[in-house]
């Protein structure tokens, strides 16, 4: 992991960003971040957001885009991406978590079709996991994640591995990188508390085996590493701790 590959997921700072996005970017730049991953624009016009990024010396290589946005405003999603300079458009969660076979297959088919259109438009497409993809088991023993891998074009549908949620789902993130390294292009470096693995803590402050995970990520050629917490304490303090730890792990 190189430090210039590290971004921060803005969802971690959602309360601050909703109150004052420009000031949030200023603080992130002061902490030392050079890149952000979006999860919405908090009511700001994308042109204004682009100006904020430029003002604070930030870039945005990726954004989480809800499945419904791809279905309901596909051209608008692409216009936003072009304005903000995204490389990656990432679905943050499956459109359904239903174990019903036909519904699951239909959702995966839709993801694959969307990915084809995104790639044809000149962007990269990814899918970000939580835990349910590994916990949802079908009659044949396959999981939602298994079906996602098998039912999508590997050239178009890449993966953003959330190490914390994969671990919550009973998976070994390092082994996932060894097995599907050609498809995992981004990694959320979110840690699990030593005293409570269901609680997320800043990268490097918990129980995940980062030596194995990062070694496997380097071997796989992961492009970006994204610090994130779903439930931060002091959000700015937490993302600063995560970045300082990332600097220690960088090579």
What is the per-residue pLDDT across 145-177, written as a single tens digit (0 to 9) for each?
Answer: 999 999 999 999 999 999 999 999 999 999 999
Identify the pLDDT of residue 101. Answer: 66
- Does pLDDT of 244 surpass 60? yes
- pTM (two decimals): 0.95
Residues 6+ apart with CB under 8 A from 77: 65, 69, 70, 89
What is the per-residue pLDDT across 169-226, written as a single tens digit (0 to 9) for each?
Answer: 999 999 999 999 999 999 999 999 999 999 999 999 999 999 999 999 999 999 999 9
Helix boundaries (H) for the chain: 14-19, 21-31, 46-55, 67-72, 74-84, 101-120, 132-135, 144-150, 163-168, 173-180, 210-220, 235-249
Identify the pLDDT of residue 97. Answer: 59
Average pLDDT, stretch 56-73? 96
Task: Give the CATH number of domain 3-249; options: 3.40.50.880, 3.40.710.10, 3.50.50.60, 3.20.20.150.
Answer: 3.20.20.150
Average pLDDT, stretch 7-20? 98
Identify the pLDDT of residue 140. Answer: 86
Identify the pLDDT of residue 15. Answer: 96
Domain locations along the chain: 3-249
What is the per-residue pLDDT across 93-151, written as a single tens digit (0 to 9) for each?
Answer: 876 655 566 777 888 899 999 999 999 999 999 999 999 889 877 888 889 899 999 99
């Amino acid at each position: 992991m190189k430090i210039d590959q590290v971004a921060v997921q803005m969802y971690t700072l959602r309360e601050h960003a909703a109150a004052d996005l420009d000031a949030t970017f200023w603080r992130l730049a002061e902490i030392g971040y050079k890149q952000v991953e979006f999860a919405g624009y908090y009511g700001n016009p994308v042109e204004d957001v682009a100006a904020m990024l430029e003002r604070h010396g930030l870039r945005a290589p990726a954004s989480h885009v809800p499945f419904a946005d791809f279905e309901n405003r596909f051209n608008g999603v692409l216009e936003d991406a072009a304005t903000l300079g995204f490389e990656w458009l990432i679905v943050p969660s499956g459109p359904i978590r239903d174990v019903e076979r036909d519904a699951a297959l239909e959702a995966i088919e839709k993801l694959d079709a969307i990915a084809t259109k995104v790639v044809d438009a000149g962007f990269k497409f990814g899918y970000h996991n939580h835990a349910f993809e590994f916990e949802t088991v079908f009659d044949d023993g396959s999981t939602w994640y298994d079906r996602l891998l098998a039912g999508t074009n590997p050239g178009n549908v890449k993966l953003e591995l959330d190490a914390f949620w994969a671990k919550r789902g009973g998976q070994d993130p390092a082994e996932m990188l060894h097995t599907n390294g050609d498809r995992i292009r981004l990694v959320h470096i979110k840690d699990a508390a030593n005293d409570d693995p269901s609680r997320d803590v800043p990268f490097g402050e918990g129980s995940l085996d980062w030596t194995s995970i990062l070694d496997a990520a380097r071997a796989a050629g992961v492009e970006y590493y994204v610090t994130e917490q779903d439930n931060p304490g002091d959000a700015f303090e937490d993302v600063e701790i995560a970045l300082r730890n990332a600097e220690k792990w960088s090579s």
